[in-house]
Structure 1
Amino acid sequence: MSFIDRWLGRGEQRSIENPSIPVSASFEELMGFFGILERNNALPIISTEAALQVPVVWSIVNFLPRTLASLPLHTFKAGENGDRVNDPRAQLLSFAPNPEETSYAWRVYHWHQVFTGGRGLSWIERFNGRAVGIWPMNPSLTEISRRNGRKSYHFEGRTYDATDVIDTPFMMKRDRLGSYSPIAKCNKAISLAIAMGDFAGGFFAGGGVPPYALEGPLPSGADAMKRAQEQIQRAIELARQSGRSFFGMPPGHSLKPIGIDPAKGQMTEARLFQVQECARIWQMPPTFVGDLSKGSFSNTEQEDLRLAKHLVMQWAKALEDELTLKLYGMRPSRRVKHGLDGLQRGAFKDRSEALARAIMTGQLTPNESRALENRPPKEHGDQLYIQQATVPLGTKPGIGHNGGPALDDDTDEEDGADAGTQE
C-alpha cells in the first residue's frame, strides 16, 4: 500500500491524538510531512538504509546477528541435568525452521530486524496443535494491537495470536505494543557520523583545497566578476592537474580560506569519537568494530569476555525463553538453550586444555567431552575420572601404595626416639 493510500485512510488506523495522521506511516514519511526533514542548519533525520552507510553501523548490525546465529541451538529436557532431545520441534530450531531456509539464515534475518528496526518477528505454523514450521515476518508490515486484553499480530491479511508469534523486541515501549528502534532513537549520533563523512569526502574530493574567498580590487559589473571567478577557478584546476604546488594570482589579490581547517577542527579525533559513540548504542566493545586506539594485548581478551557475558548471553537468553514459551508452553517439558561454548570453537588450544581439565577433575566423562567436539563416543568412555594425587589433607596412602609400606598412625616421635635409644 502506498503512502498516499495510507494517508487517505484506506483501511488504516488513525492516531487518537490526530486522526489525520495514519499510525502505519513510516518515521521518515511523518517527519517529511511535518517539514522536519527539510530544516536548515540541523542534522537530517536518516532512515535505516542511510544509517547502514556508516561503516561502524554496518559492522555492528552484521557482526551481532552472525555471531548469535552461529551459536548451536539445542533442546534439552526440563531440569538441572536434562538430557538433550531431538524431537521435531528441536529439528526446526537446530536445522531448518521451514523448507525455504536454514536455521542460521532464519536467525540472521531475525536478529537483523532487532538491531536495525528494533524488533524481530516470526509466526509459528501448527498442525493439530504441533509446531511444524517457523516463518519470518516483516516487522514494518505487521500491525500489533491488543483486543480484550490479548495481544495480536496482523500480517499479510492474517491475524496471529501472541502464542503463535516469536517476538524479540530491542526495547519495549510503555504500551507494551510498540518497540524502540536503536537507529531511530539514536538518530543524531549516526547522522553526525554521516555529516562528518560527507565533509571529509567533499574536502578530499576537492583535492584537499578548502573554500577560498578572493580579496583585492574586484572588477565592476556582474559579467566582469563572473569572468574573474572563472579565471581563478581555471587557474586552480590547471595547478591541480599539473601537480604544481602554487599558481599565479592577479596583482594585489589574495585567497583567504573560508570555514574550519579539518586539522584545527580535529576531524580525525571527532570521527573516531563517533565510532565509539555508535558502538555505545548497541553496547558493542570498541575492539570489535576496528577501534584499537585503546586496545592492548592484556585488555583485548577481556573485551572478548565482555562481549560474551554482557551482550551475546543476554540476547541469547531473550530468544531462548521466547522459543521455549511459544513452542513448549508455560510448563515446558523441554527447554531451548544456546551453546555458548560455540564462541570458543576457533580457539582449539584453549578448548582442548579446558576439556582435559574437566575430564581430570571429574566434571565430564571422555565421551561427553567428545560430544562437545562432535566426535563419536568410545568404549569405556562413560566413566568419570579424577587424578589420584588429589586427596584430602591428612589422608595417608594405604598398603602397597606406590610399592611402599603402610604408615602407622599410632607411631609418634616419642616412640621413634625410644626405639632409637634401645637400639
Structure 2
Amino acid sequence: MASKKGKAERRSTSLESETVPVSATNFMEFFGLGGGALPTVNIETALKVPAVQAAVSFLSRTLATLPLYVYRTGERGPVRLGGKLAVVLEENPNDEMDTSKFRRFFWEQVFTGGRGLAWIERKGAGIEALWPIDPGSCSIRRRGGRLFYSFDGREYPATDVIDIPYMLKRNLVQHRGPIAMAEKAIQLALAMNDYASNFFAGGGVPPLALEGPMPANDKAMQRAREDIKRAVKAARDDQLPLIQLPVGYKLTQVGYDPAKGQMTEARLYQVQEIARAYQIPPNFLQDLSRATFSNVEQNDLYLVKHLVSQWATALEGEMNLKIFGRMNTRRYVRHNLDGLMRGDFKSRLEALATGVNSALLTPNEGREIEGRPRDPNPAADQLYIQGATVAIGTSAIDTNATGENDNPPLNDPAADTERQVTDDTETETG
C-alpha cells in the first residue's frame, strides 16, 4: 500500500505531458481544443506568410532608418544638441546596439506582438543607455493608479520605460497586436500555402476516385488501393504521362480544377487583406496587380502622411515624456522624415535648391544636410531669395535695385529724367 501510494504521489507531481509541454503553442490542440480545421496562428507561424513578413520588415526597417535628432529650443529657433545624450539617442543606445538595430527590434515587436518596450538606464539626472525589453517576458500591472513593468526579476515604474502599444484595450494596460487581430486572414493564407505545398509535393496529382467493379471484401479493397497508389507513384517517379490501370477501371478527379491548383487569385486577395490589416498600400508588399504610375506615387505620399509619420510621432512623444519629463518645454527629439528621400537623388537636390532659393536654407545648411563640408566663403552662410520677389505692399520701383552693369533700373523715373537732361546737353554741345 505504501509503495502504491508513493508511486501515485510521484505520478501526480506534474500534469505536463512529456511529449507536449504546457508551453507548446499547440498544447490545447493536444486535447482536441482550439485547433479547428485551420492552422494555429502565432508570431512564428504568421511570419511564414510572405505578406506578413514583408509588412513587418518594411515598416520596422523604414522607421528604424529615419534620422532621429535631439534639439533644444533656442532664442533663434531649434538648436541641435551634442554630447552624451545625443550619442545615446541618435547613434548608440547601448553597448550592444546601434540606433538602427535597436529601433528595428523595437518596431518589430510593435508590428508582431503589438507592443514595443525599452528601459531607460539613468545615472542621476543623465541618461546612460536604452535597453530593449522582451514584451513576452514582461508583465504590466497597474497599482495605486500607476503602471509598473516587471522584467527579469526587477520592477520598473512607467517613467523609466518607453512603451509603444499597437492598440490599447479598455483597461489601458493590456494591448492588441496586428497578428492576433488579423488571425483569420493569416489562417487562410497559411492553409492555402499548406494546401499548395502538399499538392505539389504529391506531384501535382489531385484527389482521385476509382470507378469500376469493387472487390468483395475489405482486404481485397485495400489491395486494390495499394495497387492504384503504386501505379500513380511509379508514373510520377518515372515522369510518365500515363497510368496503367486494370481493365474496366478508371480514375476521376474529386472536387478539383487543375487550373486553380495554385489558387493564385485567392492568395493574391490574402495579400491585400494583410496589407489592409497593416494599413500598407499593396504595392509595398509587391502586389502590383492594380498599380499605375499615378496611384503608386500617391501611395508613397499616403505612406508618409498616414502611417510612417503617425508612428514616428508616437515614439517622439513617448521619448520626450519619459526622457525629458512632463514639464519640459526646451529639449525634444524629432525624426527627420526627409530621410525617406535618401534614395531619390534628383528629388532631394531639387528640394534643397528650392529651399536655398526661397531663403529657407543657406547654401552651407543645404551642404550639411547632404553630409558635405561647409564652404569657407562667408556668402555661403547668408540667405538668398529670387530678385523678382519683393515685400508685400511694395513694388520693384520702391526697392533700391540697380539695372545691368550697375546702372539705375530702367523703370526708375528719376533716372529717366537724368538721362533726358544728359541727352539734351549733348545735343546743345554738338
Tell me if both proteins adopt one fold, taking TM over 0.5 as the criterion.
yes
- TM-fit CA distance, 1:368: 1.3
Q: Which amino acid aligns with 1:54?
A: V
Deviation sequence 1:6-27 (CA, Å, 0-9, x none): 999xxxxxxxxxxxxxxxx989
Which residue in the other structure is 1:89 paired with?
85
3-state SS in 2 of match to 1:189? helix
Aligned pair count? Answer: 390
Kept in 2: contact 1:98–1:135 (CA 8 A) = yes
Cα separation, partners in 2 of 1:31 and 1:189, compared to 1, 3 Å: farther
Which residue in the other structure is 2:348 paired with?
351
Q: TM-score, normalised by structure 1?
A: 0.85
- TM-fit CA distance, 1:237: 2.1
Cα separation, partners in 2 of 1:202 and 1:399, compared to 1, 3 Å: closer
Separation of aligned partners in 1, 2:210 and 2:100: 61
Q: Which amino acid aligns with 2:33?
A: I
Q: Which amino acid aligns with 2:69?
A: H
Which residue in the other structure is 2:4 paired with?
none
Deviation sequence 1:200-240 (CA, Å, 0-9, x none): 11112222210101011012222222222222122222222
- TM-fit CA distance, 1:69: 0.7
Kept in 1: contact 2:26–2:40 (CA 8 A) = no
- TM-fit CA distance, 1:81: 2.8
Which residue in the other structure is 1:385 paired with?
384
Cα separation, partners in 2 of 1:34 and 1:181, compared to 1, 3 Å: farther
Question: Quick check: 1:51 aligned with 2:43?
Answer: no
Q: Where do 1:10-409 residues align within 5 Å?
A: 28=25, 32=29, 35-39=32-36, 42-78=37-73, 81-261=77-257, 263=259, 267-332=263-328, 333-378=330-375, 379-380=377-378, 381-391=380-390, 394-396=395-397, 400-402=402-404, 403=407, 405-408=410-413
- TM-fit CA distance, 1:273: 0.1
- TM-fit CA distance, 1:266: 8.4
Kept in 2: contact 1:118–1:179 (CA 8 A) = yes
Deviation sequence 1:266-299 (CA, Å, 0-9, x none): 8211000000101111111111111000112222
Q: Which amino acid aligns with 2:396?
A: T
3-state SS in 2 of match to 1:126? strand
Cα separation, partners in 2 of 1:313 and 1:27, compared to 1, 3 Å: farther
Kept in 1: contact 2:110–2:116 (CA 8 A) = yes
Which structure: larger Rg?
2
3-state SS in 2 of match to 1:357? helix
Separation of aligned partners in 2, 1:200 and 1:119: 33
- TM-fit CA distance, 1:337: 0.4
Kept in 2: contact 1:361–1:386 (CA 8 A) = yes
Separation of aligned partners in 1, 2:93 and 2:396: 56
Cα separation, partners in 2 of 1:182 and 1:35, compared to 1, 3 Å: farther
3-state SS in 1 of match to 2:298? helix
Deviation sequence 1:101-146 (CA, Å, 0-9, x none): 1111111111111010100101111111322111111111111111
Deviation sequence 1:348-407 (CA, Å, 0-9, x none): 111111111111111111111112112222232211001113347853376751245444
3-state SS in 2 of match to 1:37? coil
Q: Which amino acid aligns with 1:251?
A: V
Q: Which amino acid aligns with 2:344?
A: A
- TM-fit CA distance, 1:260: 3.1
3-state SS in 2 of match to 1:259? coil
Cα separation, partners in 2 of 1:290 and 1:126, compared to 1, 3 Å: same
Separation of aligned partners in 2, 1:127 and 1:306: 41
Q: TM-score, normalised by structure 2?
A: 0.84
3-state SS in 1 of match to 2:111? helix
Separation of aligned partners in 2, 1:398 and 1:30: 85
Cα separation, partners in 2 of 1:373 and 1:62, compared to 1, 3 Å: same
Gaps of 5+ in 1: 9-24, 412-423
Identity of aligned residues (%): 49
Q: Which amino acid aligns with 2:202?
A: G
3-state SS in 1 of match to 2:34? helix
- TM-fit CA distance, 1:242: 3.0
Kept in 1: contact 2:309–2:337 (CA 8 A) = yes
Alpha carbon RMSD of aligned pairs, Å? 2.7
